[in-house]
Amino acid sequence: MGTGERLVARRPLVIDGHQHFWDPADGSCGWMTEDYAAIRRVFSPNDLRPVLAEAGVDRTVLVQTWHSLDETLAFLATASRTDFVAGVVGWVDLTDPQVGVTLAELKARPEGRYLVGIRHLVHNEANPNWLLREDVQRGLAAVAAAGLAYDLLLKEPQIPAALRTVERHPTMRFVVDHIAKPRIRQHAMEPWAELMQGFRVHRDHVWCKLSGMVTEADWRHWKSQDLQPYVDKVLSIFGPSRCLFGSDWPVCLVAADYQSVKRTLSDCLSGLTEEERSQVFGASAVEAYRLSVPS
């Protein structure tokens, strides 16, 4: 090392594996009841940028909010002009026989390199076995063939079908969103905990987002102690190498600001090593979604 030169230690990259943008005027926010009135407004990259800087977050994964190919196209365009968006989890119609063509067309677009995964609002489907439909399974196979991950948005009734799905697609990458939405508000561990145990044998190709927990808790009175048992259970099933941080911003704002969400998860992970924490707060997202980010 020459005179005047010095090594500069660089902290590990921090990645938010789950955030959204939306504009209620485009019809994407039909799920917002009066309880969500505070977030029924436009949320854009300009809103999130200073929040990320304050929280020390470097990159994000932008995730779909409704069943719309137009939204997927818009999100890919947003990613192409937003330096902090590292990838997009979009939506396609899995039941469409031509879904493989649609995926190929999306990936072929100039901004198609940002497409890293697909998601459907499975927990809103009336049929808890929707994932097991023949047409949906065919669509999932097309997602796998396109080299993309698939986000599993579940509640307790959909977990059994999700377990059968990940078993049927052993080489496909899956990511369970929001720890499958346990009933934290009621402090209920079962049957959620027992059902989630089924993912243990699949954690070679299944990740779990430590996200969405504050909105499943009591919005006004939650404490980190309310979340700790659920975080501990997920860590025991998946291990730190298969868990990743997600803010679920701006949905989280009905219960907590961005800093509080990140700080609370950090507190819940206090028993992990620095390497394990870096995995949760960055490396796992890179691996699950194959993100192209600086090392």
pLDDT of 207-262, one tens digit each?
999 999 999 999 999 999 999 999 999 999 999 999 999 999 999 999 999 999 99
State the pTM of this model: 0.94
According to the model, what pLDDT value does residue 210 have? 98
Confidence band, pLDDT 50/70/90 cuts, at residue 1:
very low
According to the model, what pLDDT value does residue 6 have? 54
pLDDT digits (tens, 9 = 90+) for 114-145: 999 999 999 999 999 999 999 999 999 999 99
Q: What is the dihedral sign for C-alpha 71, 77, 78, 79?
A: positive
273 pLDDT more than 50: yes
Domain annotation for the chain: domains and CATH numbers: 15-289 (3.20.20.140)
Arithmetic mean of pLDDT, 257-268: 98
CA distance 35 to 39: 9
E strands within the chain?
15-19, 59-63, 85-90, 115-120, 149-152, 174-176, 206-210, 243-245
